[in-house]
Amino acid sequence: MSETLSTRRLFTESIPIAVTVLFWVVLSWFANFSLIANGVRYAGVAMALFLAVHRGLSLGQTLSSDPVTMDVEAVLRENIRVALPAGSWFLAAFIVYVIDSLWASLPFPGLFTSPANAFAFAFTVTGVATVVLYAAAVGHSSARDDSSFSGNSTATTISSDD
């Protein structure tokens, strides 16, 4: 079992999430109405979150769980561990807008609609889904070692042979 989920591994695991969201964003460009295009983008969000939770639960099986601590330093350390890979995607979204503003200042004919909003949306969703991935992995790791989740519960089983 590995001890923790490194920032490098978390970023690597987020790349398929970005590809998923970008696929749905590009697919939304073919919708003729904005409401439909938004629906297609939200379908991409749903798929990205599903992928994040699924990979997070899978990764959670390989992590060793640490007891939840209220130590401020440990909490901040864990948040920094997540903020670095997620922040990379948020930074990518910001860079898209910087490039878009530079592009708009140049006299290039022919491109009437900028894809900047779509790409920034995809990168922002990927940043959020990266945090979901981490939360699912660490949450599953913690729940796995909790006796109430391991089947050792003393709950009464009700038979259904009425």
Residues 25-81: tens digit of each pLDDT: 999 998 878 889 899 999 999 999 999 999 999 998 888 766 556 688 888 888 898
Between 162 and 114, the higher pLDDT residue:
114
**What pLDDT was estimated at residue 148?**
46
Strands (DSSP E) found in the chain? none
CB 37 within 8 A of CB 28: yes
DSSP-assigned letter for residue 77: H
- pLDDT higher than threshold 60 for residue 139: yes
**What pLDDT was estimated at residue 48?**
96
**What pLDDT was estimated at residue 103?**
77
**What pLDDT was estimated at residue 153?**
42
Residues 97-137: tens digit of each pLDDT: 998 888 777 776 665 677 889 999 999 999 999 999 999 99
CA dihedral for 47, 53, 56, 58, sign (positive or negative): negative
- Centre a 10 Å sphere on the Cβ of residue 60 and count the other Cβ atoms it contains: 22
Residues 2-24: tens digit of each pLDDT: 567 889 999 999 999 999 999 99
**What pLDDT was estimated at residue 91?**
97
* Two tokens, residue 146: 């909790």
**What pLDDT was estimated at residue 140?**
86
**What pLDDT was estimated at residue 110?**
61
Between 85 and 105, the higher pLDDT residue:
85
